[in-house]
Structure 1
């Protein structure tokens, strides 16, 4: 975050705005210390209902999007985005100076309904036809966003009754359990989701953040993360070896 603040201060008078989105099921309370420590003056919002996962389908963070004043995506990087990295800094600086020549990607300019109106609309649609996992997932995530946890839990349970291996539903159910202070059940759902999608960095980091908060708050210990990755890889290799020996 300090790197983002430095970049923002340098370019904020060039018609540039920076919006940071923190993805954390634990909500604003764990994000505020990072904002305060960086003395961030740019807008920071919290996605605690995995809405970005729903909208864009990525399973890694951090990501960077540069959108120009016409609503075109001029640059994007999924995973490993770091505004302090020289190549990234130059690309963004060139974009601000309009030196970037790649064909832009058009962003849909269709206005989004408010969460409450969208909930009403989706509920009506699902009454007509209960099929449609994506619609029900989106409804559940909107219910989490509007803090209707009991209803959200029922929607996730409906999905999981028919699709027990649905990763987003398992993760979302875990988010609801976490909001209801049922940490053990939340972790159980997240572990099941991660077992089905072991490359999903969002799930992995959420489990770590809840199990080892001292490694994430008030500062992220990246060395610990690398050590944990190595430990988990060694553990997985040992388990595979044991399975092979039993065959």
Structure 2
């Protein structure tokens, strides 16, 4: 759908895949893409923009100024599609209100720190310890879908390759939220 949207428009798209496991985990999903994809294993963009869900979009104008950032974005959503048309026309609306539940800033900070520690452990081969830290990170911010998805990808790799099982993810999300949040 992005390819159709970009046709005949002066726009460049760069995707940022947020994955603790790095390029090898992302490659099967982006290798046939028509735009550049970079890996953000350290969650730099989600931390900077306080995103907790994917996909997200960050729109920069021709001068490189950030004009819009939104999580939970889908080009298939007619409202989001119209928003992109307006952004390309130079119309920069006010930010949409976040639908994310509030988590105390100190808990978000601890959650992000645990994620970083888990990433280091995972890269050193300590998968079990990394999973424990990801579980802890999620307890501090149970609404962070990015952390949740990283845990799933490690625990249930068959649900991510060769294709991502989104129906399973929706079901698992409901189950975990009921368990974690009572």
TM-score normalized with structure 1 length? 0.62
Q: Which whole-Å CA distance do the structure 2 matches of 1:220 and 1:71 have between them?
A: 33
Aligned partners of 1:31, 1:93: CA distance in 2, in Å? 28
Aligned position for 1:5: 3
Correspondence for 1:184 among 112, 116, 128: 128
Aligned to 2:93: 102
Matched with 1:224 is 168
2:67 maps to 1:69: no
1:181 and 1:83 map into 2 onto residues whose CA distance is 37
Count of residues paired in the alignment:
170
Aligned structure 1 segments of 4 or more residues deviating by more than 6 angstroms: none
Whether 1:21 aligns to 2:12 is no
In structure 2, the CA distance between the partners of 1:30 and 1:101, relative to structure 1 (3 Å rule), is closer
Contact 1:30 1:217 in 2 (8 A): no
Give the deviation of 1:204 after TM superposition: 0.7
Cα distance in structure 2, aligned partners of 1:230 and 1:102: 33
Which aligned pairs between 1:40-119 and structure 2 lie closer than 5 A? 40-78=33-71, 80-98=72-90, 100=91, 102=93
1:155-194 equivalences under 5 Å are 166-194=110-138
Greater helix share, 1 or 2? Answer: 1
RMSD: 2.3
1:30 to 20, 25, 34: 25
Deviation at 1:178, TM superposition (A): 0.5
Bigger radius of gyration = 1
- Judged with a 3 Å threshold, the aligned counterparts in structure 2 of structure 1 residues 19 and 57 are, in CA distance, closer, same or farther, namely same
Taking a change above 3 Å as real, the CA distance of residues 68 and 232 of structure 1, as seen in their structure-2 partners, is same
CA offset at residue 236 of structure 1?
A: 4.4
Give 1:210 deviation, angstroms: 0.5
What is the Cα deviation at residue 217 of structure 1?
2.2
TM-superposition CA deviations, 1:75-129 (whole Å, max 9, x none): 3322x2001221211221233234x26379xxxxxxxxxxxxxxxxxxxxxxxxx
Instruction: Report the counterpart of residue 103 of structure 2 in structure 1.
Output: none
Using the TM superposition, give the Cα deviation of residue 70 of structure 1 relative to its aligned residue in structure 2, in angstroms: 2.3
CA separation of 1:88 and 1:53: change in aligned 2, threshold 3 A: closer
Unaligned residue ranges in structure 2 (runs of 5+): 96-106
Q: Note the residue ranges of structure 1 that are not aligned, 5 or more in a row.
A: 105-162, 241-247
- Structure 1 Cα separation of the partners of residues 74 and 170 of structure 2: 18
Q: Distance in 2 between matches of 1:234 and 1:212?
A: 19
C-alpha displacement of 1:174 = 0.5
